[in-house]
């Protein structure tokens, strides 16, 4: 079942961590996202934490304190088991326990962090300022699949290659995706070098090797799998969302010139596998319950085949999540200018629900495991200002956009820093945020051309 709104979402709740009560914080008590951290440059083991205001609750330390308690009945034993899973250096163990376990943890933390809680004295000893920490990936990611779930992005990009037929015939029938490279997924703040690859210049007869000249970002939502499925066993649409643990931000960096040369006939390869950046905090499905929205599809479009017909989609199949991409050039950093917004979109523009992605991914018996990651695909909206990539914003490089006071961009240059942000807000509800997914483009490493002789 999809988690519903409960007492942890009460907008009137206040926290004894005062920074969690600020109107502009991403991490009020109604959020409680989970990530993996340690004190910066400490050499400490990484462990699971929960964000609250400008602090992190060290759940491994909290688990040790709760485990030492001899009081409490069966309910506390369940909490102890969940906190034991949070003692691991990743979220995989907790993810494998499913959404119910995440709900137990959320309810426990919500009670303990509320203003006036008797647990304040105990929890205060297990807080670490976010300004003093560094992050690891939230989970050990075994497999990574990137979908293509925004019809606006697919149509705009398709028009650049097929003006008379921008969408291929299968788009409205199948949640299109490709399998990416999990080994190059990095957490926010980890920069990467401009990739090198093979590309074919316009009017050229022979390809060349060199750094990409058309480096791009993609504004996406990341979807972490919780409970997996047995090999050979499909996950039915009615229970598919229960296999999802939570969401994050995802930037699927893309080398468009390398992509244009290599993608036929088997799809993305070197153009996509050099770097993917995700935000450090995972927002649980339960935390997002107040921001669910009806899933809508154009009536004239074909209805999904039976295995993709989601009975809950009409009421709560979509997520109302604002998605923002900003750019800060090296020159802007030198003069102290903040990143400048390039686009603002929303996850509601997804053409397929998360449940449909899970059901289709497993219909052939494909095994999903805790910690596997899906990307939503570039989440562009119908307006130009809602385009989630430079490929769209600049019409494939033909129309440069202004950045800062005196710069333009068609594609990313060395030193450019891209910042993704996301948040949910609705009248009568507490705003919650996702934090940032940030990385800077470093110059390409020297190209080593090895002769066959």
What string of DSSP letters covers 252-291? --EEHHHHHHH-TTT--STTTTT-EEE-SPBEETTTTGGG
Whole-number Å distance between alpha carbons of 235 and 231: 11
For 205, residues 6+ apart whose C-beta sits below 8 A from its C-beta are none
150 with 81, same domain? no
Indicate whether 372 pLDDT > 70: yes
pLDDT class of 76 with cuts at 50, 70, 90: confident
53 with 198, same domain? no
Q: How many domains does the chain have?
A: 2
Helix (H) or strand (E) holding 63: helix 59-67
For the question of whether the overall pTM of this predicted structure is more than 0.85, the answer is: yes
Q: Which domain holds residue 308?
A: 144-442
247 with 285, same domain? yes
Instruction: Tell me the average pLDDT across 336-358.
Output: 97
| Cis bond upstream, residue 265 (ω within 30) | yes
Whole-number Å distance between alpha carbons of 226 and 235: 13
Which of 73, 101, 136 is at the close of a domain?
136
Query: Using an 8 Å Cβ cutoff, are 412 and 390 in contact?
Result: yes
Which of 101, 136, 171 is at the close of a domain?
136
157 with 275, same domain? yes
275 with 413, same domain? yes
DSSP tag of 409:
E
150 with 168, same domain? yes
DSSP tag of 203:
T
Place of tokens 């562009």: 380
Catalytic, 179? Answer no
Domain CATH number, residue 244: 3.90.850.10
Whole-number Å distance between alpha carbons of 96 and 187: 21
pLDDT digits (tens, 9 = 90+) for 375-393: 999 999 999 999 999 999 9
Task: Find the catalytic residue in 126, 152, 153, 360.
Answer: 153
Query: Using an 8 Å Cβ cutoff, are 220 and 70 in contact?
Result: no
Indicate whether 449 pLDDT > 70: no
94 with 189, same domain? no
Q: Which of 157, 185, 437, 434 has its CA nearest to residue 325?
A: 437
Instruction: Tell me the average pLDDT across 341-353.
Output: 97
In a domain, 247, yes or no: yes
352 with 204, same domain? yes
Query: Using an 8 Å Cβ cutoff, are 91 and 36 in contact?
Result: yes
pLDDT digits (tens, 9 = 90+) for 140-176: 999 999 999 999 999 998 888 788 888 989 999 999 9
Which of 106, 136, 166 is at the close of a domain?
136
Strand, coil or helix: 314: helix
120 with 213, same domain? no
């Amino acid at each position: 079942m999809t988690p519903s709104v409960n007492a942890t979402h009460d907008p009137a709740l206040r926290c004894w961590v005062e920074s969690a009560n600020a109107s502009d914080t991403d991490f009020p008590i109604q959020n409680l996202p989970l990530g993996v951290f340690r004190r910066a440059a400490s050499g400490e083991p990484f462990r699971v934490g929960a964000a609250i205001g400008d602090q992190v609750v060290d759940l491994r330390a909290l688990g040790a304190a709760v485990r030492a308690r001899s009081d409490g009945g069966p309910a506390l034993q369940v909490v102890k088991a969940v906190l034991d899973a949070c003692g691991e250096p990743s979220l995989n163990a907790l993810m494998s326990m499913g959404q119910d376990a995440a709900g137990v943890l959320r309810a426990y933390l919500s009670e303990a962090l509320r203003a006036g809680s008797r647990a304040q004295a105990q929890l205060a000893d297990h807080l670490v300022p976010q300004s003093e920490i560094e992050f690891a990936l939230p989970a050990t990611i075994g497999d990574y699949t990137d979908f293509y779930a925004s019809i606006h992005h697919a149509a705009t990009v398709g028009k650049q290659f097929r003006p008379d037929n921008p969408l291929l015939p299968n788009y409205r029938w199948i949640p299109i995706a490709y399998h990416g490279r999990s080994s190059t997924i990095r957490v926010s703040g980890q920069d990467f070098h401009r990739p090198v690859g093979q590309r074919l210049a316009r009017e050229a007869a022979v390809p060349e090797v060199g750094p990409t000249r058309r480096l791009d970002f993609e504004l996406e939502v990341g979807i972490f799998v919780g409970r997996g499925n047995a090999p050979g066993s499909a996950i039915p649409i009615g229970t598919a969302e229960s296999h999802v643990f939570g969401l994050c931000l995802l930037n699927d960096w893309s080398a468009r010139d390398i992509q244009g040369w290599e993608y036929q006939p088997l799809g993305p390869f070197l153009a996509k596998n050099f770097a993917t950046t995700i935000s450090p905090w995972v927002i649980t499905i339960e935390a997002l319950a107040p921001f669910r929205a009806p899933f809508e599809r154009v009536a004239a479009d074909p209805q999904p085949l039976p295995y993709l017909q989601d009975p809950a989609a009409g009421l709560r199949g979509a997520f109302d999540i604002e998605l923002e991409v900003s750019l800060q050039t090296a020159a802007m950093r030198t003069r102290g200018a903040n990143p400048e917004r390039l686009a603002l979109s929303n996850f509601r523009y997804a053409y397929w629900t998360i449940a449909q992605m899970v059901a289709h991914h497993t219909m052939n018996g494909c095994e999903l495991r805790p910690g596997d990651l899906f990307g939503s695909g570039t989440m562009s909206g119908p307006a130009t200002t809602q385009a989630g990539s430079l490929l769209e914003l600049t019409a494939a490089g033909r129309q440069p956009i202004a950045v800062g006071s005196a710069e333009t961009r068609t594609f990313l240059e060395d030193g450019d820093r891209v910042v993704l942000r996301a948040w949910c807000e609705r009248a009568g509800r507490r705003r919650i945020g996702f934090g940032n997914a940030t990385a800077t483009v470093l110059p390409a490493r020297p190209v080593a051309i090895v002769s066959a002789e």
